[in-house]
Amino acid sequence: MKYTAKITIALKDGMLNPEARAIQHALANLGFTTESLSTARVFFVTLEAASAGAAQAEAEKMCERLLANPVIHRYEVEVAA
């Protein structure tokens, strides 16, 4: 069956995020005041799997082998049919 895994990858808490700081500055220059700003990447992966659990495990393996850097990132996988 086909499942879509929504994989969210973000920096671990406490990691410096210069991109987020740059965006916050750019927003401030446009007159937008923000208290904090953080970023994440999302991948929607559609794959064939025997069960939602199998799709979840496959998506987690993708994170570990390619999508996320376990030293600096945390990831979250949500599977929908």
- CB neighbours of 6 closer than 8 A, spacing ≥ 6? 42, 43, 44, 77, 78, 79, 80
Q: How far is the CB of 41 from a copy of itself (least distance, A)?
A: 6
Task: Pick from 1, 12, 15, 39 the residue near a copy of itself by CB under 8 A.
Answer: 39
> Residue 37 in contact with residue 23, Cβ under 8 Å?
yes
Task: Pick from 1, 12, 21, 61 the residue near a copy of itself by CB under 8 A.
Answer: 61
Tokens of 50: 């025997």
Contact residues toward a copy of itself (CB under 8 A) are 2, 8, 20, 23, 26-27, 30, 32-48, 58, 61-62, 65-67
